[in-house]
Structure 1
């Protein structure tokens, strides 16, 4: 019985330590994450032509996504293209890392792909999530229309049986 009590006390001490560490991280706030973001933002030369073209590409892709929100089949194609772009990001990072001198002033393409994941895959994931959310709303709307049509059909059938 004493062993069980001792084990419970040790477990409680571990839980208290975990909670204290967690609350200490929460108290520090978003300061460290903000500092990392600002450091990343200032480390990149955003006036490079290829980065400006990439930004323009995302603006066009987001505009096409928003303006074609009623075309579910087109959205599925865009969704698959966005996910394909994310899938091939590792190969793209390797290729761009080998040829960075022909289009960039510095090598942004590290072996782990952090830069490309942030600049390439991140926005594509956001656009894919927008498409997915829009598709879910479209499906909910379609289910409501189908159920209304089913209820109207049942009402017509019951009306015919009464006559």
Structure 2
């Protein structure tokens, strides 16, 4: 994590916690010639709404103006992580057990680098994912130190309610 995102998380955490929300992720990225500071916030009690994002954005913007941790110009974006929320912290993985996930690895495991399936177990050392290959199910154990990206995913093969 970069120094800027760490500083922003330290500023954002008390603001978000004070609103009974959860800080999911922070990123500071350059796209084209512009810099973007993106802060992803979720509501553990239900769906996020635009007003909650606006309140976080306003309070965080005031704090960023006061402390001025970023030298260059940037755009602040506060939003919900959406349905495909990233899994970063240990509690994210714990809450995601039993849910459909997407995992990309740094190197091949069982001949693959990308996995979609149900997270059956999340240990500190490994993730156990049940994947479907054509008509059969297979369980794959993915070492945590090999995980490049992990997020919730949408299972398009599941029947609609």
TM class, shorter-length: under 0.3
Decide which structure has greater helix share.
1
- After TM superposition, the score normalised by the length of structure 2 is 0.26
Q: Which has the higher contact order (CA 8 A, sep 6+)?
A: 1
Structure number, greater radius of gyration: 1
